[in-house]
Amino acid sequence: MIEKKTQTIIVTGASWGDEGKGKIVDYLASEADIVARFQGGNNAGHTVVVKGEKYKFHLIPSGAIKNKTIVIGNGVVIDPKVLFEELNMLESRGFTPSLKISDTAHVIFPFHILLDGIEEETKGNYAAGTTKRGIGPTYSDKAARYGLRVFDLLDESIFRPKFNRLYELKLKQYKALTGKTEDWDLDREEIIQNYLEYGKKMKPYVISSAYYLNSLLDKGKRILFEGAQGCLLGIDHGMYPFGTSSNTWAGGVPGGCGVSPTRIEKIIGVIKAYTSRVGGGPLPTELEGDLAHQIREQGHEYGTTTGRPRRVGWIDLVALKYACMINNYNALAITMLDALEGVNPVKLCVGYKYNGKIMDSWPIHSEIIKKCITEYIEMPGWAARPAEEWSNIAKQGFDSLPDEIKNYICKIEEILGVPISVISIGPNREDTILKEQFWD
Ligand code: IMP
């Protein structure tokens, strides 16, 4: 008899990424059996701090340090070089995660990385400011049905002809975009040998994510689906083209893992106490000057993947309401409240005005968004305090939070209509207040 309990939770970032999902996933992973990624690649950057030690992940699901089974679903794009670098890093720090890799996940090759930069240059004002990890070109080949999948690396007789076709095509694209060939120094045979070797090393981990995950659900196991980036960067429901190439919202799970929407029980959105964004495109609540500097420094807002300083702004409840609508979140987790300390007053964006009228939706099109005037309410901020004091507050629970923070949280809940059930006030796993048990 299989025990009836919550078996599936999805965590997605509700904004432009970097909301602090890694920490929330790590927290929820404690009671999961499996942590699975369903989209993106090594453009992601998740930092988890455990006992003062920092772990940075780009490709491997961040549940890895909880010794859970971790799954890279079919919707992820894999750079095998990064995969093995991360596995080696984990091994050198005492972790040997049980890893499963989907046979139908697409593979990133060196020419995808090269073309990522070149394609960006051709986009002019519409460049997204990508992480240059080859994500867009790999997803393009997937959609165009030129791409190679993990399965193809496992057998040379399948790999060679498919790879040769892709290599020729990419070389043609490179010539067409740049008009030159002299700095194309990607040796065909060298790549073939490297990737066949990667294939050999990957073989023990390869599974069908759909069969694997569904059979585990049939056995009563619990799966946590870990989103990368954020909803507003998504290919279908984000601010196109200023985003990434995958479905970053909860809807990415069925496509990116082969698990039906009817099997999903809970969806949790991660929001930050303010907004941040790295890369191009409008950021309606963007701050500049001293205040931006203060928040950026207090929040250590520098990209985990690229080291770029992140743009920062006030919390944008218009955009978040849209993310809440499409994901239909059961609950929210709010992070980085400690990083807003000493900012007084704090502002919350509650409306976008376009052509003199308040809009009743988030206008999704960058051309409209950049012409919108943002409307705010102001609330009293909270005082700065030493890190130990934040940790003590977390230990004592919700009631010991400063009143200004409680009021801020209540206002956000009231406007978004979704309960905030996880409150993070520091980088460590322990600096988290949980108002609800998700795995019941
Ligand atoms: P790409 O995913 O590398 O193609 O980049 C597309 C856009 O998404 C750029 O604006 C990146 O800065 C942004 N982006 C990609 N991954 C992340 C992430 O993990 N956090 C925040 N922004 C990201």
pLDDT classification of 388: cutoffs 50, 70, 90: very high
CA of 279 to the centre of ligand 1 (A): 7
Q: What is the mean pLDDT of the chain?
A: 95
pLDDT at 57: 86
pLDDT at 51: 78
Per-residue pLDDT tens for 1-47?
555 589 999 999 999 999 999 888 888 999 999 999 999 999 998 87
pLDDT, mean of residues 379-385: 97
CA distance 209 to 74: 7
- CB of 42 within 6 A of ligand 1: the answer is no
Question: Under CATH, domain 8-95+209-434 is a member of which superfamily?
Answer: Adenylosuccinate Synthetase, subunit A, domain 3 (3.90.170.10)
Q: Where are the domains of the chain?
A: 8-95+209-434, 106-205
pLDDT at 372 over 90: yes
pLDDT at 4: 57
The answer, yes or no, to whether the previous bond of 363 is cis (omega within 30 of 0) is no
Pick the CATH number of 106-205 from 1.10.3720.10, 3.30.1330.100, 1.10.300.10, 3.50.50.60: 1.10.300.10
- CB of 135 within 6 A of ligand 1: the answer is yes
Closest ligand 1 atom to residue 278 Cα is 12
pLDDT classification of 85: cutoffs 50, 70, 90: very high
More confident residue, 175 or 56: 175
| Top mutation candidate among 118, 130, 247, 335 for ligand 1, by most atoms within 8 Å of CB | 130
Six-digit token string for 36:
């699975």
CA of 161 to the centre of ligand 1 (A): 32
- CB of 229 within 6 A of ligand 1: the answer is yes
Beta strands in 52-210 (DSSP E): 53-57, 69-72, 77-78, 98-102, 106-107, 206-207
Q: Do domains 8-95+209-434 and 106-205 have the same CATH topology?
A: no
Q: What percent of the chain has pLDDT over 90?
A: 86
Say whether pTM exceeds 0.85: yes
Q: Which amino acid is at 305?
A: T
pLDDT at 305: 78
Residue 231, classified by CB atoms within 10 Å of its CB into exposed (0-12), middle (13-18) or buried (19+), is: buried
Per-residue pLDDT tens for 268-316?
999 999 999 998 999 999 999 999 999 999 999 998 778 889 999 999 9
**Number of Cβ atoms within 10 Å of the Cβ of 29:** 26
Q: What percent of the chain has pLDDT over 70?
A: 99
pLDDT at 64: 84
Q: Which residues contact 140 (CB under 8 A, 6 or more apart)?
A: 245
